[in-house]
Every structure is written in C-alpha cells, then in structure tokens.
Amino acid sequence: MDIAKRRIVIIGLDGMPFGLIRDLAGDGTMIHTKRLIKEGTFRQMASSIPAISSVAWSSVITGVNPGAHGIFGFTDLAPGTYRLTFPNFKSLKASPFWEREGSGRSVILNVPATFPARPLNGVQVAGFVALDLERATYPPSLVPWLKSVNYCVDVDSQAAHQSLDLFLRNLDRTLQARVTAYRYLWDQENWDVFMLVFTGTDRLAHFLWHAYEDEEHRYHAAFLNHLHQVDSVIGEIAQRMADEDALIVLSDHGFEALDSDVYVNFFLREQGFLKVEANPPWRWQDIAQGTLAFALDPARMYVNLQGKYPRGSVRPEDRVSVLEDLADALAALEVNGKKVVRRLYRKEELYDGPWLERAPDLVVLANEGFNLRGSIQARQLYGRGTFTGKHSQADAFLLVRGPRSQEATPDHPCVSDVVGIMDRLRQRRWQ
C-alpha cells in the first residue's frame, strides 16, 4: 500500500498573542482567521523560556527544546570567553523539519533565525536576523527576482525611531513584497510544505502596543489595519489550499504592555554578584575577577564558574549556593513596589539535551509589564524606552485546520510540539 503525505501550510505571525487574535477574530477585524478558528482547533500555546523569537522559532522548526537545539537567545558568549557572539542558523544543533529524511519539497519563507540559508530540497529565504539577501536565499538564482520585487527581509526598526508614519509605510511595503514572494513561490514550486512567517506583527506590537490598547490613539486604526491585511493574506492562502491540505497558523510568543524595563546586570552589580573593570562597563570583557554571576539578554543568568570563564570566580562546589543566593536576591527585587520576578527556573527544569552545559544556569520569568534586559552597559535599575509592548511567554497561539486536527493537537501545546503535530497531520493513506 502506498503511503503519501498530506501537504502542509504553516503561517507564522511573529509575536501575535492568543488573546489578541481571538479578540480581533471575534470583532471582525480578522474575519478569515475567525472562519479558520471555527473550522479548526485553536489553542493558547506556551512559548520557549526565554520567550525570544530565535529560541522559540528554533523550537518550532526542530521540535526540540533549547537544550537540544542549542539556541538560548539572540546573543551568547563564545565558549571559554566573555566574547559576545550572535548565534544563527549555523549554530542550530538540531535539524529543522525540512532537512529530515522524507520531508519532501519545502518552501521556507521568512522564518526567523534561519540565516544564512543553506541548500535544501526546495526554496528558503531566511527571516531576521538576515544580514543580506544573497546569503539569506537558496537557491541563489532566486535573488535577482526577489530584488526585482523589492523584497525586504525585515522592516527597518530604526525608521520607527524617526517617524511612526515612516515605520508604518515600511511595514506595509515589506508585507506587500512578502505577499508577492509567497504568491510567486506558491505557483512556481511543487511543494509539500509551505511555511511563511509574517514578522511585521512583532514590530508593530513593540512600537504600538499602546495604540492597540487605546482606541483613541491616532495609530489605533493603523495597528488594526496591518493585522487586517495579514488576515486577508491568511484568507487568500486558505482559499488557495486544496481540500486535503492541512494548515497550521501559529505565533512564537505573545505580547503585553510594557511598564518598565528592568536591567538585571545593574541589579547584580548593586547586589555584589557582578564586578566590573570599567565603570560603567561597556563590554562583556569588562567582567572582573570576583564576579559570581552575570546575565545575558533578556534574563539568562550565568554563574561565573572557575574553568568555564577566563575570570571564573565560583568553585564548582559552590555553584548551588550561589544560585540559591541569586534566587533569593531576585525574588526580593521590587520596582515601584511591585515584585519583578514571577518565577525562576534552573536550567535542569527547562532544558534537556546535549547542549545543556551551554544553557544559562537560571532563567527569570518576569511579572506582567516588566521587561527584563541584560545590557551590561545599564546605568540604572529600571527605566522606560520607546517601546510600549513586550514579549510574553504563556500566550502564543496555535490554530490547526485539517482532518483530525483535534487529535493531532495537544490541549496545552508548546512551541516544540509543532513538528509532532505536523507529523501526525501529514500521514494519510493514499487511495
């Protein structure tokens, strides 16, 4: 008996919270999504910890946790040094689903943390952080066409600092070019899996979350309009799909209002955990002898172990007691009378796999409204920048439409469940 696989379409909406898409589907802003929710299985989904796009999407495409895929944040330190590095697709230690045997032909468009692109059976245009289109694209022969339609990997977030109007125009242009690219690839390629991520949703939420929450805000309509446009594309894709194709729509993390940025390394300096050679420090190499712990963005805490770091100051046998002291100090941290920390996780609680050694020793989950930041240069404990929205961990969403979608979808999914869901959806008997 022949076994063939069902085609699958995956649409990602970076940073779209469960509550927001539910509400906008409900009020008619996202009418096509509303229909899909009705037809499929709709769940709140847990993001990775930390709820960072590169970590979460890496879990989505590999089906494993960071201990197995090795991506713990946008930044990391090179082993044995305090040298800051930026992990990318080459650093991913587990295979994405499109590289597994029998995965068929894939179109992978704008998935974050997949730069630089590498050969695959199909087409890939990497999402952010992608430094240039040439290295973001496989096969390279696609690059001239992408340039001809002004394809752009990402909206220029610096534009938003100059003018929100310019940012919104940029957002529109980026979306339109992405739609042009998806249509072209949809028609050109004989694909088995088509994955497309919209990342403007995340940028929109960072800069204009307050505009969403305030109906009187001058950009409230613009906020809704962008999501309305995204919904139209979702509707178009759903309409283009064959009856037997399966559809997954999902986000990698949620969003919520940002009340305060809290600078964890400043706190660690105040509490005596972090010693620095320059004051204020401006690079990680300024970490001095005597440092017990330091943080990388957003709140990944590392014990400064002897033998692991150049100026490691904690003996391995003292690691646990340092972690306990750190946990006690963080648990007591308050800003404006509110506790900052919701929960602390030791790495063994969160991660599992061959790269556990590289994982942060402790990861902090913040209470609502607190945006934890790992800057080494911080000159204050807390503050407020230009951003009005921040990532949230518990409320990504997952929507699955296809035969037996309910059976295929866990009741409480997390980002590393998506590959398993795909596997269950794809299998069908060939008549």
Partner 1 sequence: MKLHNADKTCWNCPAIDLAGKVDFRACGQSVERFEKSLGEDEVYVMAECKRRPELGLFDPMGITFEECPEWVESPFGYMLRDMRVMIPGIDGYLGWALALWLGRLGFQVSGIDNYSRRDWVMERGAHTVVPIARMTERLQAAREVLGININFRRMDVTDRGRLREFIDEVKPEAIVHYAECPSAPYSMIDADHAVEVQRNNVLGTLGLLFIMRDAVPETSLLKLGTMGEYGTPLTGRPLFEGMFPADAVLHWEGREWSMGGELTPRDPVSFYHVSKVQDTFNIYEACKYWWLRSYDIMQGVIYGVYTEQVVADPRLRTRFDIDEWFGTVINRFVAQAVIGIPLTIYGAGEQMRGFIGLQDAMQCMTRLICSPPEPGQYGVVNQMSGYYSIRELAEVVARVGRRDFDLPVKIQRVENPRVEADRHPFEPIYERLPDEFGFEPQVSPEEEVYRMFELLTRPDIKSRIQQKSHLILPKTWWSGDKRQVETLEIWDEE
Give the residues lining the site for partner 1 (CB under 8 A): 14-15, 53, 74-75, 78, 81-88, 90-91, 112, 128-132, 153-158, 160, 199, 202-203, 206-207, 282-285, 297, 373-378, 385, 387
Closest CB to partner 1 among residues 87, 96 = 87
Using an 8 Å Cβ cutoff, are 292 and 308 in contact? no
Query: Nearest distance from residue 165's CB to partner 1, in Å?
Result: 17
d(C-alpha 73, C-alpha 214), whole Å: 32
- Comparing CB distances to partner 1, the nearer of 347 and 390 is 390
Q: Tell me whether residue 399 is exposed, middle or buried, using C-beta atoms within 10 angstroms of its C-beta: 0 to 12, 13 to 18, 19 or more.
A: buried
Compute the least distance from the CB of residue 375 to partner 1, in Å.
3
Least distance in angstroms from the C-beta of 281 to partner 1: 11
Pairwise CA distance, residues 418 & 424, whole Å: 10
Residue 10 CB, nearest approach to partner 1 (Å): 19
- CB closer to partner 1 out of 310 and 410: 310
Please identify, using beta-carbon distances, which residue of 8 and 268 lies nearer to partner 1. 268
- In the complex with partner 1, the residue whose CB is nearer, 147 or 315, is 147
**What minimum distance in Å lies between the beta carbon of 190 and partner 1?**
32
Residue 143 CB, nearest approach to partner 1 (Å): 17
* Rounded least distance, CB 90 to partner 1, Å: 6
C-alpha to C-alpha distances, 333 to 264, 364, 383, 385, nearest whole angstrom: 10, 12, 15, 20
User: In terms of DSSP bridges, do strands 137-138 and 122-125 run parallel, antiparallel, or are they unpaired?
Assistant: antiparallel
Task: Please say which residue, 74 or 223, places its beta carbon nearer to partner 1.
Answer: 74
**Residue 174 carries which side chain, given as an amino acid letter?**
T
82 or 309: whose CB is closer to partner 1?
82
CA distances from 206 to 20, 50, 171, 209, 384 (A): 14, 17, 13, 6, 13
Instruction: Say if CB 396 and CB 43 are below 8 A apart.
Output: no
The one-letter amino acid at 164: L
Q: How far is the CB of 162 from partner 1 (least distance, A)?
A: 11
Determine how β-strand 362-366 pairs with β-strand 300-303: antiparallel
DSSP 293: E
Spatial separation of the C-alpha atoms in residues 338 and 44, rounded to whole Å = 27
Between 82 and 212, CB nearer to partner 1: 82
Helices 220-240 and 31-39: angle between axes, nearest 10 degrees:
50
Taking the C-alpha atoms of residue 315 and residue 132, their distance in angstroms, rounded to an integer, is 43
Q: Which is nearer to partner 1, 158 or 367 (CB)?
A: 158
- Whats the size of the chain, residue-wise? 431
Q: How far is the CB of 85 from partner 1 (least distance, A)?
A: 4
Nearest to 253, CA basis, from 21, 9, 48, 19: 48
